[in-house]
Amino acid sequence: MPIPYTPPLADIRFILTRLIGLEHLAALPGYEAISLDIVDAVLGEAGKIAAEIFAPLNDAGDRRGARLMNGIVSMPPGFREAYKAFVEGGWNGLPVSETWGGQGLPWSIAMPVQEMLQAANLGLALCTLLNQGAIEAIETHGSEALKQKFLPKLVSGAWTGTMNLTEPQAGSDVGAVRCKAERDGADYRITGQKIFISYGDHDLTENIIHLVLARLPDAPEGTRGLSLFLVPKFLVGDQGTMGAANDVRAVSLEHKLGQHASPTCVMAFGDKRGAIGHLLGAEHGGMAAMFTMMNNARIGVGIQGLGLMERAYQQARDYAKTRVQSRDLAKPKDAPVTIIHHPDVRRMLLWMKAHIEAARALAYSCAFAIDQSRHATDEGPKKAAQTRVDLLTPVIKAWLTDLANEITSMGVQVFGGMGYIEETGAAQPMRDARVLAIYEGTNGIQANDLVFRKLARDDGAALKDLLDEMDQFLPALIKQPGDDFAAMHGHLGNAIESLRASGSWIVKKVKEDAAVAAAVAAPFLRLMGNAVGGYYLCQSALLAQADLASGADDADFLTAKIMTARFYADHVLPQAIALAATVVAGSKTVLAMKESAF
């Protein structure tokens, strides 16, 4: 029996309508038509695709996996039909401009749609995530001719896109890429091997558009010598007609811990005469162009983490309500109870729920900032929103995917021994989640990005803006009656102080001794996720309190929002102080230990 998935529509709706505020979204030029009806209709339909079309294929797809036979990758049964339904519904182009056949909807709506699809069937939905990144890279850096030729089919989903960076010697160190590009008339010939390429080949669509980093003969060393090429699986004529097969093929598929349905390919470019590639962006300007795709995908991978956390939570919660084991501590003479009665199981479930809600609020707030950065008319707010997106991107990628590992594992813990047995399906989110902290730039690389680029480059100004906003919000908590908000006020206040102090410390250290900053970049990123996630959760609690006070009819839902934020304040926010202590003191041993002592 496939494991059901229930789209968390009420939680998503609460963030969009209360935390972001649809009126703010509709105030952006181009989004005037956004209304509650549209949001409910889009999310409701997307929820159906996720729950009724994607989710039922998830565990069967995991068991069967993608297969490479006679040079062709075949997807598990049902995947082609599910992808077709997704494309026919126009979902692939949801946030893309109408110019290219998209729906022109905001990221604030597209991101929740992505969450539901990833939660339902990440093995399939990964393909759609890569498409969006490829579209954005071509739209931003492609020539008019390339856009006309490739975007309509990529936007509709008739074709899919891939990203090709990794080679055996070039993983985190992208500058070590050796794939070659040679000029050939107006085009280029690409030769070399790429490894670990997600959806490098499949049978969902008739064509696949690879974005490939390669090096021209006269290119400088390192990342500054990389150029980005658009390499179609089948060549495309000027009228968009499909031509001959290009010189590119999937050589083998990786055998993986999870994500079995997603084909991870070793790709050979140019075994014969060289694969024909079209330049995207400028020669030697490949990294800038690829970063457009990578930034999109980094946030997308964070959303994959969010989706898997939600999936694991739903499974654990449902199991905890049915599995009978042991007696209630308070009623030792009564019959054994379902495990949700045991305090430690409740603690685990709340740990999962509170982190998911904090992560979701953080991610969707960033989606709104993306919308502002693209649609605001005044330069000031536009730039400020982009700065916020830049600051939050590594946090969303790394904090959400570290959490995904922790929380999907906790889901297995709630199941007990049955969680370790594949038949229950509790292990799949955990296996699928493991790579999220690795691909799209490992979380170590994200922590470095946060500290060295996003913090140090502007002397901590972007972080200071966010901290000032958090400080301004804080007093609103103490004005509320009852001890829930007093607890939130105290713990959030400490977390803000911890983040401010360690942020200033780390900005200083980047200049004095980069290794010291790098040694504690990961706990700093964790601290930032902890504090900023708490900020958004406390805002949600405050809004829920206002709704309760005005007599809203979903009192249980709103009360749970306040209690979840209180749990986060008591159990999660206090870690900020400990993390700040680690940031300031922790680099010494990391750097001093002799290699031989490891």
Ligand X SMILES: Cc1cc2nc3c(=O)[nH]c(=O)nc-3n(C[C@H](O)[C@H](O)[C@H](O)COP(=O)(O)OP(=O)(O)OC[C@H]3O[C@@H](n4cnc5c(N)ncnc54)[C@H](O)[C@@H]3O)c2cc1C
Q: Are 227 and 219 in contact (CB under 8 A)?
A: yes
Rounded distance, CA 159 to CA 441, Å?
25
525 lines the binding site for ligand X (CB under 6 A): no
196 lines the binding site for ligand X (CB under 6 A): yes
The minimum distance between CB 167 and ligand X, in angstroms, equals 8
Residue in 310, 440, 497, 512 annotated catalytic: 440
366 to 398, 528, 563: CA distances (angstroms): 14, 14, 24
Q: Are 454 and 390 in contact (CB under 8 A)?
A: yes
171 lines the binding site for ligand X (CB under 6 A): yes
According to CB under 6 A, which one of 148, 172, 252, 326 is a site residue for ligand X? 172
**Interacting stretch for ligand X, rule CB under 6 A, among 12-20, 140-148, 193-201, 556-564?**
193-201
Interactions with ligand X, residue window 445-474 (CB under 6 A): 445, 448
Q: Are 285 and 227 in contact (CB under 8 A)?
A: yes
According to CB under 6 A, which one of 92, 132, 164, 564 is a site residue for ligand X? 164
The minimum distance between CB 440 and ligand X, in angstroms, equals 6
**Interacting stretch for ligand X, rule CB under 6 A, among 32-40, 158-166, 306-314, 382-390?**
158-166
In terms of CB distance, is 193 or 559 closer to ligand X?
193
165 lines the binding site for ligand X (CB under 6 A): yes
In terms of CB distance, is 524 or 536 closer to ligand X?
524
**Interacting stretch for ligand X, rule CB under 6 A, among 52-60, 438-446, 557-565, 572-580?**
438-446
The minimum distance between CB 164 and ligand X, in angstroms, equals 5
Strand partners, 250: 267
Instruction: State yes or no: is 167 an active-site residue.
Output: no
In terms of CB distance, is 231 or 576 closer to ligand X?
231
In terms of CB distance, is 36 or 591 closer to ligand X?
591
According to CB under 6 A, which one of 38, 176, 340, 438 is a site residue for ligand X? 438
Residues 6+ apart with CB under 8 A from 324: 336, 337, 338, 339
Q: Provide the token pair at 232.
A: 């179609």
Q: Are 353 and 310 in contact (CB under 8 A)?
A: no
416 lines the binding site for ligand X (CB under 6 A): no
Strand partners, 215: 180, 226
80 lines the binding site for ligand X (CB under 6 A): no
**Interacting stretch for ligand X, rule CB under 6 A, among 162-170, 480-488, 492-500, 501-509?**
162-170
Q: Provide the token pair at 148.
A: 């006309």
Q: Are 436 and 409 in contact (CB under 8 A)?
A: no
For residue 187, report the phi and psi dihedrals to the nearest 5 degrees.
-110, -165
Interactions with ligand X, residue window 258-277 (CB under 6 A): 259, 264
**Which residue has 């499949």 as its token pair?**
202
Count of residues binding ligand X (CB under 6 A)? 21
Count other C-beta atoms under 10 Å from residue 216's C-beta. 18
198 lines the binding site for ligand X (CB under 6 A): yes
439 lines the binding site for ligand X (CB under 6 A): yes
Count other C-beta atoms under 10 Å from residue 377's C-beta. 8
The minimum distance between CB 400 and ligand X, in angstroms, equals 17
**Which residue has 């939905």 as its token pair?**
125
Q: Provide the token pair at 29.
A: 């030029």
SS (H, E, C) 40-60: HHHHHHHHHHHHHHHHHHHHH
Half-sphere exposure of 63 (CA within 13 A, CB side): 11
**Interacting stretch for ligand X, rule CB under 6 A, among 195-203, 310-318, 342-350, 499-507?**
195-203
In terms of CB distance, is 25 or 447 closer to ligand X?
447
Rounded distance, CA 360 to CA 18, Å?
13
Interactions with ligand X, residue window 476-515 (CB under 6 A): none
**Interacting stretch for ligand X, rule CB under 6 A, among 28-36, 45-53, 56-64, 444-452?**
444-452
6 lines the binding site for ligand X (CB under 6 A): no
Secondary-structure breakdown of the chain: helix, strand, coil percentages, each rounded to the nearest 5: 65, 10, 25
**Which residue has 């050979």 as its token pair?**
268
Catalytic residues: 440
Which residues sit at the interface with ligand X, rule CB under 6 A? Answer: 163-166, 171-172, 196-198, 256, 259, 264, 435, 438-442, 444-445, 448
